[in-house]
Structure 1
Amino acid sequence: MKSFLSIFLFFFIANTFAQEQFVVYFNSDKFELTKSENKKLNEWMNLHIKDKIVAINGYTDEDGTSGYNDTLSKKRVNYVFDIIKEKVPFREDFESRSYGENFNQSKNKAENRKVTIYYIEEKDLARENEILGIKEEIVVAVDSTSEVIEETISDDAPLEERIAKTKEGKTLILKDINFYHNTFGVMSESRPTLYDLVYIMGTNPRLVIQVQGHVCCNTDVTDSRSIMLSRERAKAVKLFLVAKGIPAARVSFQGFGSSMPLYPIPEQNEEERIANRRVEILIVKK
């Protein structure tokens, strides 16, 4: 038998204990710290050089467009990360999140323009896996050549983890990617997943993907309109990534219409239709 540690941090920020937080604040529309906040951050670093950082989250107030705030919150995360990356240890499965204005905001706008660092103190590092809810799993060898059963990837795991665990040549579903009815217009609720994908591709420059579009409800798999719609939806995802700085050569796209349903067509209910009407990514190269 062989054992390994699952890196899935199940609701680690909200639900774990003995995990500490440190917050720095920003002026409106700025991603650089003021002198006083920068001093506060440096003082914190000097006191915590033997602790371990788990995550860094960025936030903004509601002023400005959602897209602008998503970008601003990410810049704030990157600014703080660049200052502390070689001064305080990070977990190997460290995560960063950029929430823009999409979080439970304070009525005081100044309190919303922030970056929060989540970390574990040196005295608790012996228990860090327990604190983060990381459980030991067992992988059983299936024959004498030590081949092991392929690890199951939870659909509820963060996208970054799902991509990390997906092998080249395999596909995974991009959750919560939705389009306006019978169009390739991406709905605003898709933005968090798309920005997650931008971040993942930006921090993994070797990653090459193909975006694959699928539609539901059409028994004629040769219908050119369905194929074109699925292709344009996949293309819309690529264009979003390219617009955010991802090289076009690292993202291709393809539409399969209704030829590859997860559930038989006609579907029996809306849940099956939603499952068939999906966007997937093929991991071409890692």
Structure 2
Amino acid sequence: MSIVLLLFINGCFAQEQFTVYFESNKSDLTPKERLRLEDWMYKNSKSKIVAINGYTDEVGTTAYNDSLAQKRVDFISEFVLEKVPIRDDFKTRSYGEKFNQSENRAENRKATIYYILEKDLHRENEILGIKDIVIDENLPLFEKIKLAKKGTKIRLKDINFFQNTFAITPESNNALNDLLYVMQNNPTLQIEIQGHICCVSSDRRKLSLERAKQVRRFLVAKGIPITRMAVTGFGINHPIYPIPEANEEQAAANRRVEIEILSK
């Protein structure tokens, strides 16, 4: 883990934080603080941790306090591991005594978790100040994949479905074969296929998920390992245009399949 902290830690509008406190010279939690942390983990099992900072008071040498602050970070990191999702580029920092301390020493013996709530995860990069890569929509899919990085979303143009079903129309074959070519020629590429629908108030039939699954079924039938492809259905939760749409052009834009790059 890196101990370099990104600038976003200093204040983004939708980032949350949670702090636990330690006894003097301790790097493990009291039963009371452990219960607070466990309660936070239970309530945030689908949130995402982006950073953990550790702190100490000024008692002891600078070297000792730096080490103690890092031990507190390590303790919290191990405690939450596999219980709350953590960003792949998760950052930590141990401050020791080098920070703006409170006059109350007990308030300085702490570790702070910075995280994003589940409801805000679709805006994760925006919250963290990470600019999405802008890729020319007119490029062939294989060129878009070359330019893409982890987290990049690419709309699969010309993949359409028969109305109110997850059956793919014959006119979609070229687009499906383009995706197949990309998967065959990039054997380490892993993607999430994401379905979106339009025009209705809810996705009670989970049609968006079934459409994503149908695209995956096509690829699996062509020999692409299912383990390389996650699927999700967003329903109407992330429309490009407000629902109800003003015209068919807006509806078609909302009714889409996208892929997100998980790893290359």
TM-score (norm 1): 0.45
Larger Rg over CA atoms? 2
TM-score (norm 2): 0.49
